[in-house]
Structure 1
């Protein structure tokens, strides 16, 4: 297996693969991140064999795959940066082509090592750096995964590789002897990567640090319908919303909708709670919670007086705001007719899931 093998994202190989920031947690306002995601796959239909993405503060800024000839910028400010520095795009294009050859060879080698002859298999890397612009602290990382499990990771403190699986131990032994490569990794993740990250933050500051407050409302079609917690007008789209009982997130009876774009560039989402088996006296124990970094959490209690519905006379609707303003039933209708495919992020960190 080539010494340049490269990936790690905790992914479900049967999930639809997406290597941008779909599995990342939103960085704190003063902590910035530059992450590279690379995925090589075998036996996965309707998906490129190789995909790479560059992500800044969980915003996708660059992309390449096995079907296109050059890396592509994905943000206007990134296009402006490349206009001023064309060699920047050339470097990414070169790395994309090089990694493609290495990754495809490595996934074939891993299939042999794991004695796999068929099926869908995924080899991934997540590498990059984080920079705290208040403390100046810099953290680098380089992690690999295979078929949704940790495979090997670089410890920059000791400049050694850790191998949680026996099949990765031969790779660890080989890579630990490559002192020149290890020193280069240390330099890259502690110096070059943060320098680029600072440059990206400077170019894209207005977008990367934008955080729009949402409006949250409770909606219900009929007394027997699920209660929908609907948030709209938030930005960016890396938001979390869930139902809780006695302060603990619940999953039973809960259905998560997609994060959908609004016409003004903000986003909306809905999470339904089936209340048919919830006694009225227990409603006060349930809450809808909306979380977005840079924005104060919004918590809406399950209260019939706050629910907007089309089975109550409009004059009986409450007029008070909820979490920054109540959105009427029209938003529920808008959610039904707005179609867009977005991706869901795990609250646990780097996990690839299908929204």
Structure 2
């Protein structure tokens, strides 16, 4: 099995990583009757960063990071070979999608098949792990257990596939070699290519925000990189789980990330609370004390607008009276003339 360099709907399979954990993942997505979406997409990810992309509209595997172009220094025909391999996968997945539909007694409608293949490597301990799993219409279909090298079928419709693949010893050996050797070799090579980008860390700006005096307080961090981060609220040094709503890590337009965590307004001493932001690979956390004076808001007390409004009305009335007075004076002068 050769390596592919592409990636697509990442969110279905991503999981937490640590500062020294590197990963190489490929995502394959075949769909039917999805509006404004290619019938087939493949995406490649290194440490959760997209490095390559192919879809049935462009019909080309393209690098998504400048440092990925270094691959051609070792092998000039790399991208052409990957494109041909992606085209082959596109045809294979078209058949796979039809097979899944028959298994579930389906004909038309929106349906999606996904395959995630990859490995991860801890460059501190040397531990290696792999994953190979299929999903259909948003649910797990069949997953490879790397401890037993047998397949797990969460759904009855996948049992026939499990039996077929478990009995294919050649397939098991190829997968074992790829996931424990070839995938690892490519991962180390890619990490070496993109080390300056993959290993960089950017600290965020952390702010306390509030819509109104009675609404939740939001701790918001933006501008950090990479996306391996977490944020939580503490009380007296202990992490809070109740009265806290944690948001997801979201991308910014410049390639950095943002995250937020909401805290229900405390009824006791605010000085007991603080917000903690942790970025993987950085020893020191950013701790922000809950301080009313530090909270930013666009809220304007309606009572504060009463006096200005009255003042404006008074000014307008004065101007009107002044205008009338000037008019009367002009009329009196004309009459005297």
TM, length-normalised to structure 2: 0.75
| 1:223 alignment partner in structure 2 | 213
Q: What is the distance in 2 between the residues matched to 1:202 and 1:126?
A: 23
1:244-282 deviations in whole A, cap 9, x for unaligned?
7873445877777953235xx544455555x5xx45437
Secondary structure, counterpart of 2:175 in structure 1: helix
Q: Does 1:195 align with 2:185?
A: yes
The match for 2:90 among 100, 104, 111 is 100
Alpha-carbon distance, 1:103 to partner: 1.2
Secondary structure, counterpart of 1:68 in structure 2: coil
Q: Does 1:24 align with 2:14?
A: yes
Q: What is the distance in 1 between the residues matched to 2:176 and 2:72?
A: 26
The match for 1:300 among 265, 270, 288 is 288
| 1:140 alignment partner in structure 2 | 130
Secondary structure, counterpart of 1:143 in structure 2: strand
Q: What is the distance in 2 between the residues matched to 1:285 and 1:222?
A: 21
Alpha-carbon distance, 1:49 to partner: 1.4
Q: What is the distance in 2 between the residues matched to 1:157 and 1:23?
A: 19
- 8 Å contact kept, 2:119–2:184: yes
The match for 1:259 among 251, 262, 276 is 251
Q: Give the unaligned 5+ runs of structure 1.
A: 5-16, 313-355
- 8 Å contact kept, 2:17–2:228: no
Q: What is the distance in 2 between the residues matched to 1:77 and 1:66?
A: 25
The match for 1:116 among 95, 106, 109 is 106
Secondary structure, counterpart of 1:117 in structure 2: coil
Q: What is the distance in 2 between the residues matched to 1:21 and 1:149?
A: 13
- 8 Å contact kept, 1:21–1:59: no
The match for 2:41 among 30, 47, 51 is 51
The match for 2:239 among 223, 239, 247 is 247
Secondary structure, counterpart of 1:86 in structure 2: coil
Secondary structure, counterpart of 1:115 in structure 2: coil
Pairs aligned (count) = 292
- 8 Å contact kept, 1:210–1:236: yes
Cα distance change of structure 1 residues 149 and 222 upon mapping to structure 2, 3 Å threshold:
closer
Alpha-carbon distance, 1:180 to partner: 1.4
Q: Does 1:170 align with 2:157?
A: no
Alpha-carbon distance, 1:95 to partner: 2.3
Q: What is the distance in 2 between the residues matched to 1:47 and 1:121?
A: 12
Which aligned pairs between 1:198-347 and structure 2 lie closer than 5 A? 198-220=188-210, 222-224=212-214, 226-241=216-231, 247-249=239-241, 258-262=250-254, 266-271=256-261, 278=265, 280-281=267-268, 283=270, 287-295=274-282, 296-309=284-297
- Shifted more, 186-195 versus 37-46: the winner is 37-46
Alpha-carbon distance, 1:225 to partner: 5.4
